[in-house]
A = this chain, B = another copy of it.
Amino acid sequence: MKIITAKTAGFCFGVKRAIDIAFRMAREKCEGVYTLGPIIHNPQVVEKLKEKGIVPIEEVNTKKDVKALIIRTHGIPLNLSKKIVSKGCEIIDTTCPFVKKAQYYAKLLSEEGYQIVILGEKNHPEVKSLKSYANNDAIVTDGKAPLMKLKTKVGIIVQTTQTLEALKKVLSDALEHAKEIKVYNTICNSTAIRLKETEKMAGEVDVMFVVGGKNSANTTQLTKLCKSLSVPTYHIETSSEIRKEWTEGAKKIGITAGASTPDWIIKEVQKRIRYIGG
């Protein structure tokens, strides 16, 4: 049995940066430091941080000893930032620089008078943060249903983990209504490259393992892609979920992982497959 792992599997630039900052805070034993919500969409990493003393809290008010809040990679809404600051709490901002860029463009388009359309998942924290920079009156679309009732001047930004195909569709839709469109393609390259490598791999193997948080948008996207290519695909968070029968008869097994999946989990998955395969 041959096991191949995608070169692009695991932490992207933004996630690596955020996790490095958080673990440094843990190492330095900074007191009163919390993450606001999970720092990334990977429960195992969040758990490990907890063990080191960096605990996530869901709301700004829940702990009295909060001195500093680590802002997750996906970013937070603008007025939440203001609220944190107004409480005299320090912000340790690990928002991905690419998300920051998208936030900036949302603000710019809004100031320039464009009706803003965000291509993304309505309930994703990144999209919620982007929306706040667009005065909270942006239209959010997942690119499936056609856009309705747009104004003549439309500005488009994109959740960093979306696909170019989806953006093309939204843009075509918007052209049916708007006379002036300004679009910032804020799709993160690493997402596109990871999807491309995964697509190629899925066509060459008998079974695909997609490793990452069940709550991770980009990991779920990888799973959907593999399944659409009719290769048996398993989305797992850790190696403990792997069942022996999944790999029976498989000659070539592919492993890919989302942007928020740490190396040590990927290595455990490789080890476990090798173990049951042998």
Query: A176-208 interface mask toward B, CB cutoff 8 Å, 1 = contact, 0 = none?
Result: 101111111100000000000000000000000
Taking CB atoms, residues of chain B closer than 8 Å to A164 are 175-176
Q: CA–CA, A142 to B41, complex, Å?
A: 45
Q: In the complex, how many angstroms separate the beta carbon of A105 from the nearest chain B beta carbon?
A: 8
**Once the chains bind, are B182 and A175 in contact (CB under 8 Å)?**
no
Q: A106 contacts the other chain (Cβ, under 8 Å)? A: no
Q: A172 contacts the other chain (Cβ, under 8 Å)? A: yes
Taking CB atoms, residues of chain B closer than 8 Å to A167 are 175
Query: A153-179 interface mask toward B, CB cutoff 8 Å, 1 = contact, 0 = none?
Result: 000000000001001100110011011
Prevailing SS type, chain A contact patch: mixed
**Once the chains bind, are A184 and B179 in contact (CB under 8 Å)?**
yes
**Once the chains bind, are A172 and B172 in contact (CB under 8 Å)?**
yes
User: Residue on B with the closest CB to A183?
Assistant: B181
**Once the chains bind, are A180 and B185 in contact (CB under 8 Å)?**
yes
**Once the chains bind, are A183 and B184 in contact (CB under 8 Å)?**
no
Taking CB atoms, residues of chain B closer than 8 Å to A175 are 164, 167-168, 171, 183, 185
Q: Which of A194-244 contact B (CB under 8 A)?
A: none
User: Residue on B with the closest CB to A181?
Assistant: B183
User: Residue on B with the closest CB to A186?
Assistant: B179
User: Residue on B with the closest CB to A152?
Assistant: B185
Taking CB atoms, residues of chain B closer than 8 Å to A180 are 182-185
**Once the chains bind, are B185 and A182 in contact (CB under 8 Å)?**
no
Taking CB atoms, residues of chain B closer than 8 Å to A185 are 175, 178-181
User: Residue on B with the closest CB to A178?
Assistant: B185
Q: Which of A171, A179, A183 has the most CB of B within 10 A?
A: A183
Q: Which of A103-158 contact B (CB under 8 A)?
A: none
Q: CA–CA, A168 to B170, complex, Å?
A: 11
Q: CA–CA, A167 to B178, complex, Å?
A: 13
Partner of A182, one of B168, B172, B176, B182: B182
User: Residue on B with the closest CB to A165?
Assistant: B172
User: Residue on B with the closest CB to A172?
Assistant: B168
Taking CB atoms, residues of chain B closer than 8 Å to A176 are 164
Q: In the complex, how many angstroms separate the beta carbon of A80 from the nearest chain B beta carbon?
A: 28
Known: A171-B172, A172-B168. A181 touches B178 (CB 8 A): no
Q: Provide a sorted-by-A list of 9 A–B residue pairs whose CB atoms are within 8 angstroms.
A: A164-B175, A171-B172, A178-B185, A181-B181, A181-B182, A181-B183, A182-B182, A182-B183, A183-B183
